[in-house]
Chain A
Amino acid sequence: MKTKEADPVPDLLAPKEHRQTAALRRAQPDGKRAAALLGWLRQIGSRAVPALVGFGAVIAVWQWYAAQPSIDPQLLPTPVAVWRDLAAERGLLWQQTLVTLEETLVGFGAALAAGIFFATVIDFSPWLRRAIYPLLVTSQTIPIITLAPLLVLWFGFGLASKVVVIALICFFPIVVALADGLRSTDPELVKLYRTFGAGRLRLYWSVRLPGALPALFSGIRIAVSYSVIGAIFGEYVGASAGLGYFIELKQHSFATAAEMAAILVTAALSIMLFLLVALIERLALPWYYQEGRQDSL
């Protein structure tokens, strides 16, 4: 068996990617890790079948109903018509998707950074917890829908206003999840590491934060599913590009099928980001799933 001393590259000196892949390799010796991932994908596959049947049934009923002569296609287009518009507008839709995706990723990144920051600050001092927590809760009681036009006035029609909307929507679940995760650290574990002479920073970095990562990921999953909605929302209120802008435009010209095509793309984008997070979680926390826990997927 290969021991760590035999590792030719000292961990901390290695470039970051190398360190990460080294960590992954360590996490599961040899092909065991690949097999686990393959098993997971197969599991998703077998679960996808009923989901696809469900979607298929809904689409079939929709097609049958919308094709009735009494239904105005401008009010309810058939799935086939939506698909036709999707294909026809694919170039334009792709451009708008890239705009929305960029806003989503930047906004979500900002939310993640802010979330981790606030959760950590809250965790370090009970005084700060009492000072900051009410502010955070209050920020969530504001209906963003009423605030968004103001945000557009403040931050303009471009990227910034969307990032602020997304970050406002997304950071809260991250703060709450991580703060709870940090709080639920086993007190015995803290005691043990204190006997080793660990200070607060050391405890945070080596024990409490890694232990809170599963909780953090729960928050991230919720946040990421809100993030695309946030982007669409920001665009809807005021933008010059993006899926939300596209939807609004089509709505005004009663091009319902094209509007629905864009909504479809939005949903696909959300699902894709959610699955991406699930995949990253799998890779980052192999220990969490190999302890016999089931996926939430």
Chain B
Amino acid sequence: MLSDITLSVAAGEFVTLVGPSGCGKSTLLSIIAGLEEPSSGSITLNGQVNIRRLGQVGYMPQRDLLLPWRSALDNAIAGLEIQGVSRRAARRQAQALFAEFGLAGFSQSYPFELSGGMRQRVAFARTVLAGGKLVLLDEPFGALDALTRAALQRWLLGIWEQLGMACLFVTHDIDEALLLADRVYGLSPRPGQVRIERRVPLPRPRTPAMLLQSELLEVKRELAGALAEGGSLNEVRQGT
């Protein structure tokens, strides 16, 4: 499924991984999160090679996966609780984060009472609280409508700038990858291989209008070309 992947994320760095569907992006995240072990090769986390990664890395799936019987706040502390933090301390930590996440006043709400964007933010709070320094995001905005997605992208960048954790963000949307990242990796279709690695030549804070700059269009063309190699073009979703 995957072969010859060499990939690094520095502390506090925002890296996106863009590739067509079925190239093994999700498998790669599962391996990094510790859900699976690679058949060969090694993974280094915080300078330690091949340590147990479960419970060390924040993982955010595409769906919010909030437990419907728990309030927003209690969903957010799920990871902390499992890591042994007392419920009271975890809630205090989550409450502080809720204010920053624009969720103040919704801590007692149940998932069905929240909008899709809010649910995603609660899920992200859960990931951040559990993950600490590295957060893996598996197409977290893939299921949202375009407007909500744009709002959450902006919001995610704000949070990232504030909290300073390292992010590895997987997407099949080249525009999204470029808008968010310091560096972009492009993966080829089956077997997934890193075809291209580019630094995004844009200042921060980012705006969607920056994606139209000419030096970026070049990077975009290169990425689209790399992703399409060996696969059919329509597998690559190019946002506009």
A interface with B by C-beta (< 8 Å)? 1-5, 10-12, 26-27, 29, 186, 188-189, 191-198, 202, 206-207, 210-211, 285, 287-288, 290-292
CA distance A292 to B33 in the complex (A): 35
List of A residues within 8 angstroms of B59 by Cβ? 192, 195
Q: Which of B79-87, B176-184, B205-213 contacts A (4 or more CB under 8 A)?
A: B79-87
Nearest B residue to A198 via CB reads: B82
- CB of B73 within 8 A of CB of A4, answer yes
- CB of A196 within 8 A of CB of B61, answer no
Does B42 sit at the interface, judged by CB under 8 A?
A: no
Question: Nearest-CB distance from A292 to chain B (Å)?
Answer: 8
The residues in B between 161 and 175 inclusive whose CB is less than 8 angstroms from any CB of A are: none
- CB of B79 within 8 A of CB of A196, answer yes
Question: Nearest-CB distance from A197 to chain B (Å)?
Answer: 3
Known: A287-B110, A288-B68. 8 other contacts (CB 8 A): A5-B91, A5-B95, A186-B65, A192-B59, A195-B59, A196-B54, A206-B78, A287-B68
CA distance A292 to B112 in the complex (A): 9
List of B residues within 8 angstroms of A285 by Cβ? 69
List of A residues within 8 angstroms of B110 by Cβ? 27, 287, 290
- CB of A196 within 8 A of CB of B88, answer no
Per-residue A-contact encoding for B34-68, CB less than 8 Å = 1, 0 else: 11000000000000000000111111010101011
Does B153 sit at the interface, judged by CB under 8 A?
A: no
- CB of B82 within 8 A of CB of A11, answer no
Question: Nearest-CB distance from B116 to chain A (Å)?
Answer: 14
Nearest A residue to B58 via CB reads: A195
List of A residues within 8 angstroms of B108 by Cβ? 1-4, 26, 29
Partner of A195, one of B55, B68, B69, B91: B55
Does B21 sit at the interface, judged by CB under 8 A?
A: no
Given contacts A3-B95, A5-B91, A287-B112, contact A196 B35 (CB under 8 A): no
CA distance A27 to B108 in the complex (A): 9
- CB of B67 within 8 A of CB of A211, answer yes
5 tightest Cβ-Cβ pairs between the two chains A and B: A197-B55, A195-B59, A196-B79, A196-B82, A287-B69
CA distance A1 to B99 in the complex (A): 14
Question: Nearest-CB distance from B37 to chain A (Å)?
Answer: 13
What are 23 residue pairs bridging A and B, where the CB atoms are less than 8 Å apart in the complex? Answer: A1-B105, A3-B91, A3-B95, A4-B108, A11-B87, A26-B71, A186-B65, A188-B61, A188-B65, A191-B30, A192-B61, A192-B65, A194-B35, A195-B35, A195-B57, A195-B58, A195-B59, A196-B54, A196-B82, A206-B81, A207-B67, A290-B112, A291-B112
Question: Nearest-CB distance from B10 to chain A (Å)?
Answer: 22
- CB of B69 within 8 A of CB of A5, answer no
CA distance A207 to B110 in the complex (A): 16
Partner of A291, one of B61, B65, B68, B105: B68
List of B residues within 8 angstroms of A291 by Cβ? 68, 112
Question: Nearest-CB distance from B98 to chain A (Å)?
Answer: 10
List of A residues within 8 angstroms of B79 by Cβ? 196
CA distance A211 to B70 in the complex (A): 11
CA distance A186 to B66 in the complex (A): 11
List of B residues within 8 angstroms of A210 by Cβ? 67, 69
CA distance A196 to B73 in the complex (A): 16
